[in-house]
Structure 1
Amino acid sequence: MSDSVPEAEVPAEAAPREAAEPAEPAHDPAAPAPLLVDRTPSGDADVDARLARLADADHLATDGHIEVYEDVHRGLREALSALDGRPGPPVPARHPTTAPR
């Protein structure tokens, strides 16, 4: 006989199961993330719509940003060019007898 007591084996079914905790998603620094940049309305509906389009880049990977930026830039250039084509208020005519100072 031996003085040592053999360890009792616990059947796998009787062993306490660890609570299944959901694994936390790994942080992916390359994943799209909003830039959270405030955009102040300009008062021009066309310009504001173009600036609102910048939010589309928040949901894209970095390599997709260039397409959004180019589209917004193109739209803003068109809006600015349109200002040149609009007639402005008439320039007051000088009275011919008034001499310039």
Structure 2
Amino acid sequence: MSDAVPEPEPDSPGTEQAHEPAAPAPLDVPRPPTGNAEVDARLARLADADHLPTDGHVQVYEDVHQGLRDALTALDARPGPPAPPRPHEHRS
């Protein structure tokens, strides 16, 4: 009796064959509204990556990241309520 495993036929099941990569499929990650229209628009842009091959995701992610950074920077630039008056220091 031989321990050798017979070579599979080229067209038989289980043989290695070149396969085409799967088509991009949406991840369907829920994105609940944040209450900020600009941020919601940027997050909605993430859906663009659902229809791109993996190597196209980086551009979308970088665009969304920059847009979110810009939105945060804009929040810092908005004038807030006036600061409370500082108590006068009493010098002797």
Assess same fold via TM > 0.5. Answer: yes
Moved over 2 A (4+): 27-30, 94-97
Aligned AA (1:56): D
- Count of residue correspondences: 71
Residue number in structure 1 paired with 2:51: 59
The C-alpha deviation readout for 1:11-51, integer Å capped at 9, x for no partner, is xxxxxxxxxxxxxxxx9653110011010111011000000
Deviation at 1:67, TM superposition (A): 0.5
Aligned AA (1:45): A
Unaligned runs of at least 5 residues, structure 2: 1-18
Residue number in structure 2 paired with 1:37: 29
Larger Rg: 1
- 1-side partners of 2:69 and 2:86: how far apart? 35
Aligned-residue identity in percent: 73
**Among candidates 78, 84, 89, match of residue 76 of structure 2:** 84
Indicate conservation of the 8 Å contact 1:30/1:61, yes or no: no
Unaligned runs of at least 5 residues, structure 1: 1-26
Aligned AA (1:69): Y
